[in-house]
Chain A
Amino acid sequence: GAGVSQTPSNKVTEKGKYVELRCDPISGHTALYWYRQSLGQGPEFLIYFQGTGAADDSGLPNDRFFAVRPEGSVSTLKIQRTERGDSAVYLCASSLIPAGGPGEQFFGPGTRLTVL
């Protein structure tokens, strides 16, 4: 079956602009996660959804970052007034077993965001 997909694969934007990054999880996976990964580092947790609700958004760096998952499937990560420091690969993952359990996460290929 299809894995986690993310669009776009690459996004170049100018400082101050607004961007949306999309994640389409594996069908039936109720848990969805967003991470940010900078070069040479491990993934940095941003937000976790269980169904439609954000169960844990403690990783969002500031109020310029927001994510939604209105129907409990596709999720969109939104970044307002982008800054050069936002440049990174944004990863999405989904899992069948909620994060409260030990289920492994399945990752998408990521969106490489470059803020000029």
Chain B
Amino acid sequence: AQSVAQPEDQVNVAEGNPLTVKCTYSVSGNPYLFWYVQYPNRGLQFLLKYITGDNLVKGSYGFEAEFNKSQTSFHLKKPSALVSDSALYFCAVRDMMDSNYQLIWGAGTKLIIKP
């Protein structure tokens, strides 16, 4: 069965420091991987995706994520955190060959950037 794990409910980072939000996945075949961000009282916003090719994917707002097939991970990173990055972050996966059209979502990680 497909699944996504975000092992940290909350991540605290000081402004200006690098941040990492972890995501691991399980699919039978090859994955499509996504990161979304959710600000309070707003809809989910797409950040970046991995489809194929370069394992390092760059996205919106200076975020990037590294696909690691051997570790089945897709951690979200940013070199220098901003207070405005504070939000809820979701990782999602779909098996490339799966005829089921569902995205499988992690439970989310709350990112808090302290000034």
Contact = CB atoms under 8 A, between A and B. Distances in A.
Interface in B81-115: 90, 92, 94, 96, 99-103, 105-108
B49 A40 contact: no
Interface of A: 3-4, 40-45, 48, 55-56, 58-59, 91, 93, 98-100, 102, 104-110
Contacts of B94: 99
Contacts of B34: 104
Contacts of B42: 109
B49 A107 contact: no
7 contacts: A41-B108, A42-B105, A42-B106, A99-B102, A102-B96, A105-B46, A107-B44
A43 B102 contact: no
Contacts of A59: 102
Interface in B13-49: 32, 34, 36, 41-46, 49
Contacts of A45: 102-103
B44 A58 contact: no
A41 B43 CA distance: 14
B51 to A, nearest CB: 4
A102 B49 contact: yes
Given A41-B108, A42-B108, A107 B100 contact: no
A56 B101 CA distance: 7
A43 B51 CA distance: 21
A92 to B, nearest CB: 9
A40 B105 CA distance: 12
Q: Which 7 A-B pairs have the closest CB atoms?
A: A42-B105, A99-B101, A107-B43, A107-B44, A104-B46, A45-B102, A102-B51
Nearest to A41: B107
B12 to A, nearest CB: 17
Nearest to B42: A109
Nearest to A110: B43
Given A48-B102, A56-B101, A107 B45 contact: yes
